[in-house]
Amino acid sequence: MSDIMDKKTQLLGQQHFSDEFLERIEGKYPDLLSLIRRGLVVSHKDLNFILDDKEKGKDIYIYTGRGPSSGSLHFGHFLPFFITKKLQDIFDAKVVIQVTDDEKYLYSNDNTKSVKNFQEMALENIKDIVAFGFDPDKTFIFTNTQFIGNLYEVDLQVKKHFTLNQIKHTFGITDSDNVGRISYPTLQMVPCVPKVFNGFINEKSRCLIPCADDQDVYFRLARDILSKMKVQKPSMLFVGYVPSLQTVNEKMSSSKPETAIYLSDSDNNVKKKIGRAFSGGKETVEEHKEKGGDCDVDVPLNILKYFISYNEYKDTYEKYKSGEYLSSDIKSKTINTLNEVKKIFIDNRNNVSDETLRKFVTLNK
Ligand code: TYM
């Protein structure tokens, strides 16, 4: 498994964190080091350039996003937004967050849903995102349907660099798909160009994009094209995958709701979902105590690891592996942890005033 992942990472041009890199950040960025050690972030592209720019006193900015395919984020989305907030603090950086209501409208197979429905889900998602504690003075959150006027000029320039063939093949679009699917991808690349956020982001700032590697396809193209447009290519930071409830080999995904636990789920729902999740425990308690649990395939453990400290995870892992902890112990620890995280999240969300929300969606603060 890890061999395959290593090869995949190399193929996609992602870089592991070398010892040299870890030494470079050790004294200066202990919180970044901790994200890496805990496996919350797993690889990168050109993160060195971000460190170089920070050393020279230059501004950088962070760009991430969300496709509002549901009215609530799930625990998989939790990771990139939690990390983006940390990065805002670590690098003292401005953040822009693209909410792609257009993308999800064009990709929805439910023809009863209108653009308005996706705009409404976008607003609910924005409230979720704000609950991660971003700085309202340094964070701009926008939906594509509303910000399109600002995106369009650069979008035209980016579009001119692509052929139909390139987009069709890269995104697996077929001749019977709607044409919106052909025109969408460049819009996700446009926020890598700082001048789009004129007045909020310094035009010379380098862009850093935290996301899981499912989004890398857009930014691989962006990195190529932007060099041709004489714009600095973005650096990337890849977060780990929170797995599906059915198997660690797939990610938790809102396009398959049965794989996911939503931040809007009730405590009882979380309990039920984790209760049914795929476990690495043995058939009987006796056998489990003798042979121990299979940590690599156990879904609750592989979700839990992102939400507890490294030391607590190591301890839990060892006790499960040795058979001291039963599958039911791992499940109840995961249920309690997720429900605690969810409670803090919901309290934060309920405390966001309309005025604060307005500040987040305003470009010129
Ligand atoms: P979306 O809404 O599918 O996902 C939002 C962010 O969550 C990450 N992600 C996950 N991370 C860990 N574990 C998971 N199970 C998991 N599932 C999703 C995604 O990689 C993403 O970072 N097209 C995009 C929206 C977008 C965007 C961006 C994302 C626009 N611009 C810039 C990242 C960066 C989308 O539909 O994301």
Q: Give the pLDDT of the chain (365 residues) as one tens digit per residue.
A: 334 444 444 555 678 899 999 999 999 999 999 999 989 999 999 999 999 999 999 999 999 999 999 999 999 999 999 999 999 999 999 999 999 999 999 999 999 999 999 999 999 999 999 999 999 999 999 999 999 999 999 999 999 999 999 999 999 999 999 999 999 999 999 999 999 999 999 999 999 999 999 999 999 999 999 989 999 999 999 999 999 999 999 999 988 999 999 999 999 999 999 999 999 999 999 999 999 999 999 999 999 999 999 899 999 999 999 999 999 999 999 999 999 999 999 999 999 999 999 999 999 98
- pLDDT score, position 14: 77
- pLDDT score, position 12: 55
- Nearest alpha-carbon partner for 43 in 213, 282, 206, 194: 213
Kindly report the pTM of this predicted structure: 0.95
- pLDDT score, position 89: 98
Name which residue sits closest to atom 26 of ligand 1, judged by CA: 65
Name which residue sits closest to atom 34 of ligand 1, judged by CA: 64
Ligand 1 touching residue 242 (CB < 6 A)? yes
DSSP 192: G
Residue in this structure with the two tokens 């307005």, named with its chain if needed: 358
3-class DSSP state of 228: helix
Query: What does R_g of the chain's alpha carbons equal in angstroms?
Result: 21
- pLDDT score, position 365: 85
- pLDDT score, position 5: 40
Cα of 249 to ligand 1 centre, how many Å?
A: 17
Cα of 4 to ligand 1 centre, how many Å?
A: 22
Name which residue sits closest to atom 4 of ligand 1, judged by CA: 66
- The whole-angstrom separation of Cα 353 and Cα 163 is 45
- pLDDT score, position 117: 98
3-class DSSP state of 249: coil
Cα of 176 to ligand 1 centre, how many Å?
A: 26
The distance between the two most distant Cα atoms of the chain, rounded to a whole number of Å, is: 66
The per-residue DSSP string of 323-358 comes to TSS-HHHHHHHHHHHHHHHHHHHHHHHHT--HHHHH
Name which residue sits closest to atom 5 of ligand 1, judged by CA: 66
Q: Report residue 142: phi and psi, to 5°.
A: -140, 155
Name which residue sits closest to atom 23 of ligand 1, judged by CA: 67
- The whole-angstrom separation of Cα 348 and Cα 64 is 21
Name which residue sits closest to atom 17 of ligand 1, judged by CA: 76
Ligand 1 touching residue 209 (CB < 6 A)? yes
Q: Which of 102, 121, 211 to mutate to test the pocket of ligand 1 (most atoms within 8 A of CB)?
A: 211
Ligand 1 touching residue 292 (CB < 6 A)? no
Ligand 1 touching residue 42 (CB < 6 A)? no
Ligand 1 touching residue 125 (CB < 6 A)? no
| Bridge pairing between strands 94-99 and 139-143 | parallel
The per-residue DSSP string of 285-319 comes to HHHHHHH---TTT-HHHHHHTTTS-HHHHHHHHHH
- The whole-angstrom separation of Cα 309 and Cα 362 is 36
